[in-house]
Amino acid sequence: PFTIMATVYPSSLNQASYGFGTGGTIVDAEEAGYNDGASAHSTTPGYALGITSTGHLWWWPYDGGDVYSSATIPLNTWTIVELTYDGQNACFYINSTLDICHAAGAPGTPSFTKIGGKSWIAGYFAGSISNVQFYNTALTASQMAQLNKG
């Protein structure tokens, strides 16, 4: 179980991103590390958290089971985004309010983490990222709200 929290201020969502689309990477933890049986990628596990070109949060765990938020992240606005994983479900929170949960596979333990950049696609987060936090438990909405006070 874990939680990733970050405060983001996207100014554009047109950077090279997921599946050769566009968006913005928030956290990339050796995201190229998948092996789908058909591609010659590293077998090192990883994950990625970002925003798609339509403003939805995007989570890619090691198993390739992409999931998306239902709400969108606005441009040119500071927004707290949170993702929790409890061992079975990935839940998106926006400003410490639950958006949606999806069944999701577990990511592996990567050997490196990048903030605002991709490991295998040239692209970056256009805007600002602040206060990135990682927790080794799936925090509750009230715990996140308490941490984000101030």
Backbone angles phi, psi at 33, to 5 degrees: -80, 65
Q: What is the pLDDT along the chain (150 residues), one digit of tens a residue?
A: 999 999 999 999 887 655 556 778 899 887 554 445 455 445 556 788 889 889 999 988 876 688 999 999 999 999 999 999 999 999 999 999 999 999 988 887 777 788 888 755 556 888 999 999 999 999 999 999 899 885
pTM, entire model: 0.85
CA atoms of 68 and 51, how far apart (whole Å): 9
pLDDT tens digits, 110-132: 777 888 887 555 568 889 999 99
* pLDDT at res. 43: 55
CA atoms of 61 and 68, how far apart (whole Å): 12
Q: Rg for the chain (alpha carbons), in Å?
A: 14
Distances (CA, A) of 49 to 24, 29, 37, 74, 146: 9, 9, 23, 16, 23
Contact 106, 43 (CB under 8 A): no
Q: What residues contact 67, with CB distance under 8 A and at least 6 apart? A: 58, 59, 90, 102, 104
- Which residue in 71, 76, 79 sits closest to 52, CA to CA? 71
CA atoms of 80 and 40, how far apart (whole Å): 36
